[in-house]
Amino acid sequence: MSFFEGNKMTAGYGNGPDIINSCTIKVDRGEIVAILGPNGAGKSTAMKAMLGLLNLKSGSVVIDGQEISKLSPQDRVKKGISFVPQTKNVFAELTVRENLEVGAFLREDDVNKVIEEIYNLFPILKEKSSQVVGQLSGGQRQQVALGRALMIKPSILMLDEPTAGVSPIVMDELFQHIIKVKETNVGIIMVEQNAKQALSISNRGYVLVTGENKFEGSGDELLNDPEVRRSFLGG
């Protein structure tokens, strides 16, 4: 039994066809799990289903032994599940500090302490704290997005393609930040296109094909599995 589990989830958008089919994703605290697969495999959908952005037709989502399949996304956020969407994941017209403050709206206690912690994690944000996020670089924006998601002190952090559209150098930097976050005892699920790099920092990985679990295993196992290599890692 893992800390956060999506068990045998089946779901689709509206009345459309099922995008994911009996798909299972599990993550523990202090662990990075990568969800990989070809385009249209339902990676993001699986993640959104776990957050409650679309309703399950069957299956369940469980955190810390507690069933949350029926909760709204907001209520799941309150349970400690934070989400960074792929696009539009910051408030571009607000300052860095305001972004962090909004991220903590669900918290009752003093946010200044948490903001200091985030600043320690991402020093650049402290430097730019009163700048409007829209004026920051792509990598800095992603840090704001991470910081905002961490403001509720989540136990689970879900990242939808955090490195999409950033340069390789920034990507490495971001992965380093993600590892730092993991070390604060947060469980991380991320959907990634850059499979090799993602697996290299992940404890485990899932490969989805047409909405179903195809392979799973530790990062090294998947990296060395010839079939996975051939099909998804480009040889």
Which parts of this chain interact with another protein (CB under 8 A)?
73-74, 77-78, 83, 85, 88-94, 98, 101-103, 105-106, 132, 148
| CA dist 56 → 49, 73, 80, 84, 95 (Å) | 7, 13, 20, 20, 36
| Pairing mode, strands 156-160 and 187-191 | parallel
Q: Which is nearer to another protein, 92 or 124 (CB)?
A: 92
Provide the minimum distance between the beta carbon of 134 and another protein in the complex, in angstroms, as a whole number: 9
Nearest to another protein of 39, 87 (CB atom): 87
User: Smallest distance, Å, CB 78 to another protein?
Assistant: 7
Closer residue to another protein (CB): 106 or 179: 106
Helix (H) / strand (E) element for 83: namely strand 81-84
Q: Which one, of 150, 214, 148, 207, lies nearest residue 182 by Cα? A: 150
Q: How many residues does the chain have?
A: 235
DSSP at 106: T
Specify the residue, 111 or 124, whose C-beta has the smaller distance to another protein. Answer: 111
Cβ proximity to another protein: between 108 and 235 the closer is 108
Task: Rank residues 181 and 199 by Cβ distance to another protein and give the closer one.
Answer: 181
Q: How far is the CB of 109 from another protein (least distance, A)?
A: 14
Question: Cβ distance 207 to 228 under 8 Å?
Answer: yes
In whole angstroms, the minimum distance from the beta carbon of 107 to another protein comes to: 9
Q: Name which of 197, 124, 126 is nearest 166 in CA terms.
A: 197
Q: How far is the CB of 216 from another protein (least distance, A)?
A: 28
**Rama region for 30: left / alpha / beta (φ>0; ψ in -120 to 50; rest):** left
Whole-number Å distance between alpha carbons of 75 and 77: 5
Q: Least distance in Å: CB of 219 to another protein?
A: 29
